[in-house]
Amino acid sequence: MRKLFAVGLVLMLSGCGGGYDSLPPQVIDGNGGTIGAGGTFPTDKGNWKYGSVSNSDGVFSLSARIDAINTYTVPQFPNLNQRSWIELEKRKMAVGTISKRFLIFAPEEVKCTPSCQIRIKFNGGISSYGFLQRVDGVLTPASDELSAELFDKTTQSNSATVYLPIVGLSDEVESEFNLRGYDEDKMKFTGEQ
């Protein structure tokens, strides 16, 4: 029965791609941690999870994920709680530059079709930012410049609160993040200053 469950889970997850279906397999880093497509390696600092993706030319993508410290109730299922998370990504571009990407994942649909203003409080200062929701619950900054700005604010702050207008809830969900312990070294490419 467990084998059938495991096979079913693998088949179910293989249908969820997001464009990562053709990434190379996982590899082992120099410290014995697993890295690669979808892989993470543990950290002793905070609750950040780090990963990287590489090809024959080396590592081309670095990621860091932080989960909210609180949950919210799912509108359709009052006995179920969900937790949002923030994901940061640095990617080597073909022109020799490095892009910075900031994403908010809310496991439920957000009132953001196709765009909206999302309030985020960094270290006590609150501002509104333009976001797009192309896939339910995945919020992307409206521009590359804004994405890089939010990446930097996240890595330079101790805390953040993201105010999410979840579909089916009358009040915004305050997803709180403890950003302490971000390890900048794990998010640097070899040779990057």
CA distance 68 to 87: 11
CA distance 132 to 103: 10
Longest dimension (CA), the chain: 52
pTM: 0.74
Task: Return the pLDDT at 46.
Answer: 59
Query: Is 105 within 8 Å of 84 (Cβ atoms)?
Result: yes
CA distance 193 to 191: 6
pLDDT digits (tens, 9 = 90+) for 107-148: 888 999 889 999 999 998 999 999 999 888 899 999 999 999
> What percent of the chain has a predicted confidence (pLDDT) above 70?
76
CA distance 27 to 32: 10
By residue count, the chain amounts to 193
Cα four-point dihedral sign 136, 116, 106, 138: positive
